[in-house]
Chains A and B, each alone.
Chain A
Amino acid sequence: MGAGGPRPGYGHGVTSIQLTVPSLSYPVERVTLGNGLRVVISADRRAPVVAVAVHYDVGIRSEPEGRTGFAHLFEHLMFQGSASLEKLEHFRYVQASGGSFNGTTRFDYTSYYEQLPSNALERALFLEADRMRAPRITPENLANQIAVVKEEIRVNVMNRPYGGFPWLLLPPVLFDTFPNAHNGYGDFVDLSSATVEDAQAFFDRYYAPGNAVLSVCGDLDADEALTLVERQFGDIPARAVPDRPSFGEPGLREEHRAEHVDPHAPAPAVGVAWRVPDPLADLGAYLPYVVLAEVLTDGDASRLRRRLVRGDRLVTSISGGISFMWNPFDVRDPTALVLTAFHPGPVEPVLTALDEELDRLATGGLEPGELSRVQARLTASQFSEVDSVLRRALRMAAFEQQRGRAELVGELPSLIADVTAEQVVEAAATLRPDRRAVLEVVPGGRS
């Protein structure tokens, strides 16, 4: 290597580089409209782009029995025309403005969003307001989107190996109650029996302005944006806001195990989950688990990659994180630290090695420098994610909806930096075999 600039602590075969991790703050203006809609606005004029996100406080956990997959099916229906727009017009208006759109259904919320050149800001607000006013739910649109959702499930679950692993397969092993354990993509029988009346009732109940947060980020003037928000959303009538029930259930007292035979899988896989503290009730107790997941599985320096992938070579890959959709910062209780691994050989040696590594961490503690490098990487990856105004708008919507604090987008790095080695070790000590759920994917031999 050639001579370089100053390289503190580098070049001696030791990894003691310590960078000061910078902090960022994003401006947040917030207001609650007369109809109860909560609004957060964050200006960032570096690129001529805006993002608009609406989060409704209803997700997979709120689906009634007999209507699995309904929250997601309903998400599709929200794109099928609205109070003033025919079918297809929503897509066309966003894209003919140079923008892109999507929606996503999670366990705890449903999100709708657009990212557009900033000259389309008011149009995007109009489009969101128009479907908050009234989606166009017709028998034709419903039948069409049931067919589309079935194809989505076929392509993502039924027709491929490891479909639904772990997000559909592991929750029923860890949880006992319907809201937490059921299939969030939906049973085909349930999807087929959905009616227009079901959809209208779901909208009436859960899509009230007071049950939503609107987040607007990017190339805008906050005062002007607020005026536009008032103009577009202000006259949507207020409706009753449903109480959000607790979906809490007791943790496991003994290991739960299950097998899933996958006709397409060429090799076994395993998913392991342990309950973690309530992310909302106690962020301070929760964040050590977020850091722990990184210590275990983030990058080649992580403990489980070193041991299982490159050391024992028991697994070909291992991933880990909080929640079944890897979204640690917008999931509510109950949730879990989840590990997934693909292993050509038997599962027991994998679980044994995993237990040994957790034990080693719980009793031997972290290595010198291990915590700070993991914190540096975790922080940088957070910065990288919210460099996109769309990702930032989504984060802010979730933080505002669940915690009343969109500012957490900028505050997270310092909270991550506050996590101590002792907390991470204590968290590791709770990942015991008798608290875990284990799901084995067993190749079904067709391929």
Chain B
Amino acid sequence: MTARQVPQLTEPRPSPPLSVTSGRIDSGLEVMAVRRDGAPLVQLRLSVPFAGDGEAHLAKARLLAESMLAGTERRGADELAAALQSLGGELSARVDPDRLTISGEALAAGLPDLLGILAEVLTEASYPSDDVVGERNRLVEDVRMSRSQPSVLAQEALLRRMFGAHPYGRELPETDQVAMVSPEQVRSLHRDGVVPAGSVLVLVGDIVPSAAFDQVATTLAAWRPSGTAPRAPEMPPLDPGPTVLVDRPGSVQSSIRIGGPGLGRAHPDYAALQLANMVFGGYFSSRLVENIREDKGYTYSPYSTLHHASAGSTIRILADVANEVTAPALLEIGYELGRVATLPVRAEELESARQYAIGSLALATATQSGLAGILLQLATSGLDAEWLQAQPRRLAEVTVDQILEQSRRFLAPSGMVTVVLGDAIAVEPSMRTLGDVVKG
């Protein structure tokens, strides 16, 4: 067959400038309203700093998120949900170790009412005792279900290994902690913790930003309890050591999880680390995927990612592999980490990762919900839309030497920790041929 010529790329077209109105309203809430026409919708994201120490906080925070929309002083859960639905909308709340995030959408014409419902929930959520108790039982069951998933168990094992007793060491509450939370404790957490100071509200869609901003300022004016936003304490330094094996009898795969420190988006070396991670395992055309999937067939979906939290960023590597190739997969992952940390990447590898990173930003911000999500993430790290506009230029300037420098700092296997969730009888002997293994 004659090889045909792969077409060249044409001149790129820049993303259109964003029309943004942003600022802080009297209560201390940061507001960012952005026009992105397209669907006749508006996307809403509200992020409230919500860190706390200990298992009790985690249990209370989760239950608060589950029952936040269970009623207000003026109406019950059914009516609230029906009102949202009438706007073509939905609203939901979730918590992570740093934040409470309320997300929703509605037909753009419904924005005033959507904000009205949000304000009602923020200022008047009543946490009816019956509903909270019902949600509590549901949460206990939900946690139990989550812990039956190997992906959740593996994630928990990695977080324990990386963070120990730090609040980032756990994402799921213990069921006995959940069972002890009272409705009054949830109400009190809402009163003290759901505060505008340090919070960010992002609106993106078929809206007029200045008018939307004014609507927020008016409608959310009554949400103004004082209080300071708690932040997670500093992350503990990583303590590298032997691979941790968590036994899951009967498992037909091993869930390999590797983690170590990283850099946040605001750091001057972030673009270089982002590309280093990409070359290693951050996208399909990476060394990790081409090696253990496309060459060896050990796994379906291995990847490496940068995870950002308030107190710091981390790198996490994930691969689920068949029992019999657990040790060989660990060997190959270690090899690829060592290779990227000690030898320069090829120029075309850097170029490919660079173009992918730049293109991904354009793709991710091309939808209303994608743009809202990214702006929220930026805003909660103290960054804004300007970071988005400037990031392609920063990526364009990264050199092969900078990649090697960041890989040496953050991708060297000696600076990372490894946990494996799998059937110990099946995988431990061959894992021991590679080095020390401790049971976790």
Contacts and interface: CB of A to CB of B under 8 A. Distances in A.
Interface in A263-317: 263-267, 298-301, 306, 309-310, 313, 316-317
B4 A130 contact: yes
A19 B110 contact: yes
B360 A300 contact: no
A83 interface: yes
B89 A380 contact: yes
B112 A120 contact: no
Contacts of B370: 388
A319 interface: no
Contacts, number: 297
Contacts of A134: 1
Interface string A407-427: 000000000000000000000
B221 interface: yes
A161 B248 CA distance: 13
Interface in B413-434: none
B296 to A, nearest CB: 8
Contact of A316 (B7, B9, B141, B215): B141
B21 interface: no
Given A6-B112, A265-B148, A159 B320 contact: yes
A123 B6 contact: yes
A369 B362 contact: no
A412 B289 CA distance: 40
Contacts of B83: 10, 15, 17
A83 B1 contact: yes
A151 B12 contact: no
B347 interface: no
A22 interface: yes
A329 B297 CA distance: 34
Contacts of B356: 95-96, 98-99
A361 to B, nearest CB: 16
Contact of B9 (A97, A150, A266, A446): A97
A230 to B, nearest CB: 14
A310 B149 contact: no
Contacts of A15: 79, 82-83, 86
Contact of B359 (A47, A117, A263, A388): A117
A121 B301 CA distance: 27
B115 interface: yes
A386 interface: yes
Contacts of B299: 148, 151
Contact of A48 (B15, B120, B134, B360): B15
A114 to B, nearest CB: 10
Interface residues of B, number: 106
Contact of A310 (B110, B131, B249): B131
Interface in B94-151: 105-107, 109-110, 112-113, 115-116, 119-120, 123-124, 131, 134, 137-138, 141-142, 144-145, 147-151
Interface string B290-314: 1001111111110000000000000
Interface in B342-365: 351-352, 355-356, 358-360, 362-363, 365
A17 B85 CA distance: 10
Contact of B145 (A20, A145, A267, A383): A267
Interface in A48-101: 48-49, 83-85, 87-88, 91-93, 95-101
B69 to A, nearest CB: 7
B13 interface: yes
Contacts of B7: 122-123, 125-126, 232
A144 B9 contact: no
B3 A148 contact: no
A118 interface: yes
Nearest to B130: A310
Contacts of A21: 88, 107
Interface in A138-152: 143-152
A389 interface: yes
A248 B80 CA distance: 43
Contacts of A374: 85
Given A84-B6, A263-B250, A342 B285 contact: no
A380 B322 contact: no
Given A99-B363, A299-B85, A159 B252 contact: yes
Given A144-B294, A300-B81, A46 B89 contact: no
Contacts of B38: 44, 46, 387
B74 interface: yes
B145 A299 contact: no
Nearest to B83: A15
B39 interface: yes
B330 interface: no
Contacts of B13: 48, 117-119, 219
Contacts of A3: 218
Contacts of A309: 138
A335 interface: no
A88 B87 contact: no
B48 to A, nearest CB: 17
A158 to B, nearest CB: 5
B250 A155 contact: no
A47 B85 contact: no
A158 B423 CA distance: 14
A387 B86 contact: no
Contacts of B105: 380, 384
B16 A4 contact: no
Q: Which of B4, B109, B131, B137 has the most CB of A within 10 A?
A: B4
Contacts of A369: 82, 86
Nearest to B38: A387
A4 B112 contact: yes
Nearest to A262: B148
B377 interface: no
B284 A95 contact: yes
A148 B297 CA distance: 5
B288 interface: no
A4 B218 contact: yes
A93 B79 CA distance: 51
B363 A384 contact: no
16 contacts: A4-B215, A7-B113, A10-B116, A84-B1, A96-B356, A116-B363, A117-B362, A121-B10, A123-B6, A123-B8, A123-B9, A155-B253, A370-B82, A373-B82, A380-B41, A388-B370
Given A5-B218, A19-B88, A19-B107, 8 more contacts: A1-B219, A2-B221, A83-B4, A96-B285, A100-B363, A154-B320, A376-B87, A387-B369
Smallest CB-CB A-B distances: 3 pairs: A98-B359, A147-B297, A380-B88
